[in-house]
Structure 1
Amino acid sequence: MIKPIIFCDFDGTITNSDNIISIMKKFAPPGWESLKDGVLQQKISISAGVGEMFSLLDSDLKDDIIQYVKDTAGIRPGFSDFVDFTKKADIPIYIVSGGMDFFVEPLLNDLLSTDRVYCNHANFEQEKIVIEWPHTCDEHCDYGCGCCKPTIMRKLSTKNDYRLVIGDSVTDFEAAKQADFVIARDRLLEKCRIEGIPHQEFETFFDVINILKKLQEV
C-alpha cells in the first residue's frame, strides 16, 4: 500500500486564485505585469520577479492587503476535509508556497501547524515591502526559486518516500519533476502532459481525497 509524503502548493492550489497576482492587480502601479510575465515564461527567476513586484508596494498597505486577501482569496472546496483525511491516514503534508507569510498563515487558519508551512517572509519596516527568502535553493538548484520547493523536498523526504506534489503553476514544475506522482491543474497540468510526468487532474480537494484513496489501494 502506497503511503505518500505530500508537498502542496498554496496560491491557486489551496486558494481559488493566485493571491500574488490578485494583490498586484489591486494595489500595484503599472509595470508589474511585465515582471509577472517574465516569471511565468521562465525568463526571470521567481525570487527576482516576485521581489521586484512587492517592492512596488508601500509597506503601510499591509493591513489593507491582508483584509483584501481574506475577503477575496477563497479556499478551494474540500481542503479542510483533505487535511482531516491526511491526519487520519497518518500521511505527512507540507505546504510549500511562493507566497508570503503575512497572508498564507491567516488563510490556513490553524488547519496546519506552522512547522508544516514553508513560505517567504515579507518585511514591512521600510517604505516599500521587502521580501526575504528563508528557504533558498541548495547546491542542487540554481533557478532562483525564492522558496525553493525542490530543496524543501530533498530536506524533508528520502529516496524511499513516495513523494506526491499538488500544484497548479509553472512555479511548481521543478518540484513536479522530483515527484513520484503529481496532482495538477492549470499550467502545471499542461506541463505534466507535455513532459510525460505521471499525474492526475484535480479541481477540488474532494478530487484529491479520491485520488489518494486509489493510490492507497495500489
Structure 2
Amino acid sequence: MAAPQSTLPYPPIHKDAPFVMLSDWDGTITTFDSNDYLTDNYGFGYPKRRDMNKEILSGKLTFRDGFREMLKSIPESFEECKQILKDNITLDLGFRKFHDWCKENGIPIIIVSSGMAPLIRAVLSNLIGEEDAKNIDIIANDVRIDQTGKWEIIFRHPESGYGHDKSQAILPYRDLPHSPTLFFFGDGVSDMSAARHADVLFVKNDKGEGLNDLAEYCKMEGIKHILFKDFSQALPIVQSVVKGEKTAEQVLSGPSSEVVV
C-alpha cells in the first residue's frame, strides 16, 4: 500500500540518534485529551463522543471523520479554545523528569499528534516553558481560520482514514542504515496506526478498565505493549534499554502481549 500523501511538511529526521522517543500528546504527555475536553465541555458531550470512539474502534467509522465531527460541534473561536486549554490542561506528573533526562542524554523527543499543532505548541510552551518547548518537534495536523473567525482542522493525510497516519512519522527511521531504537507512547484510537511500528510501545493506562482504546486495540491485534500510569513508571524501563541493561524484546517479555508496570 502506498504511503498517504502529506499536505504538511515534516521536520528533518534524527539520522544519527541511537534512540528516539515519539509520543502522542493528548492524554499521554498531558493528563487529559484537550480535544476530548473541548468536545465534552463545549461540544456535543461525553456520551456521544464515547459512542463515536467505539464506532472508530470497531471500524464502522474512520478516525478522520469522527474527529472532524467532534471538532465541528465546538462553537468557540480558535483563540478561545487555546485559552481554555492553557487554563485547564496539565502535564503528566512524570513527564518533566522524563524530558529532562532525555535532554541531558541527547535523546530527541518528538510529539506525534492527531491534534492541531498551534494548540499543542501553545499548551506545551505554557507547561514546560518556551525554551524547552521549541526544541521538541511537533508532527501534527494544522488549522485553517477564515476572516470571520470560523476554524476547521487541516488533516496532514486527508486521504487516510486516520487523518494523520502516525506510522509515517516512524517508518522513515526504519529505512536508515542504522535504525535507532524507537519508543512510542500513546493512549487512544489515534495511535492505532503507529502501534505496531515501534520497538517498544508504551500504552498509558490511567482511565480505568475498559476506557483505554489503544490497549483494547493492541489486545485484539496481539501487539506487545507496556501499560504505564505516568512517565515516572516509563522512565526506568527506557533507561534500562538505553544503558544496555535490557533489550527491547526483554522489556516487552511477559506471560501475554501486555506488560504492566
TM-score, normalization by structure 1: 0.84
Q: Which sections of structure 2, spanning at least 5 residues, go unmatched?
A: 1-16, 206-211, 247-261
Residue 175 of structure 1 corresponds to which residue in structure 2? 194
With over 3 angstroms needed to count, the CA separation of the structure-2 counterparts of 1:195 and 1:37, relative to structure 1, is: closer
SS state at 2:172 partner: helix
Residue 88 of structure 2 corresponds to which residue in structure 1? 72
SS state at 1:122 partner: strand
Two-structure CA RMSD over aligned residues (Å) = 2.6
Question: Identity over aligned residues, as a percent?
Answer: 26
State how far apart, in whole Å, the 1-side matches of 2:183 and 2:239 are: 13
Detail structure 1 runs of 4+ shifted over 6 Å in the superposition.
none
After TM superposition, the structure 1 stretch with the greater mean CA deviation from structure 2, 80-89 or 181-190, is 181-190
- Asked whether the equivalents of residues 56 and 128 of structure 1 are also in contact (C-alpha less than 8 Å), the reply is no
With over 3 angstroms needed to count, the CA separation of the structure-2 counterparts of 1:92 and 1:158, relative to structure 1, is: farther
SS state at 1:174 partner: coil
Matches within 5 A, 1:7-86: 7-29=22-44, 33=49, 35-58=52-75, 61-86=77-102
Report the number of matched residues: 211
State how far apart, in whole Å, the 2-side matches of 1:66 and 1:28 are: 15
Q: CA deviation at 1:36?
A: 4.3
Residue 158 of structure 1 corresponds to which residue in structure 2? 175
Residue 92 of structure 1 corresponds to which residue in structure 2? 108
- Asked whether the equivalents of residues 39 and 49 of structure 1 are also in contact (C-alpha less than 8 Å), the reply is yes
The higher radius of gyration belongs to 2
Q: Which has the higher contact order (CA 8 A, sep 6+)?
A: 1
Q: Which sections of structure 1, spanning at least 5 residues, go unmatched?
A: none
Is the helix fraction higher in 1 or 2?
Answer: 1
